[in-house]
Amino acid sequence: MPDELKSVAVGDSVVRQLGADGPEMILKVTAVIADRIICGPWEFDRRTGGEIDEDLGWDGVRTGSVIRLPEGSAS
């Protein structure tokens, strides 16, 4: 798991990046479980930060978006 995601907690903000150079969107963390970070309707793998979307075939490794902490956030 990216070290910065180890400290993510409910209520934190994260940045969702679509593709390598795609748009970014700020999301609020609504739940954290052993292997996932959940931001409303979006789920992300806690190990990779990659989005999980079964309909698109995204498993957190093969994915189209990832999350990270906003710039300037303490990790």
**The length of the chain, given as a count of residues:** 75
pLDDT computed for residue 1 by the predictor: 43
pLDDT computed for residue 2 by the predictor: 58
pLDDT computed for residue 55 by the predictor: 93
Strand runs labelled E in the chain: 13-18, 24-28, 31-33, 36-39, 42-45, 51-53, 58-59, 65-68
The CA distance from 7 to 9, in Å, is: 6
pLDDT computed for residue 3 by the predictor: 72
Within the chain, which residues score under 70 in pLDDT? Answer: 1-2, 73-75
pLDDT computed for residue 74 by the predictor: 56
Amino acid at 41: P
Q: What is the pTM of this model?
A: 0.88
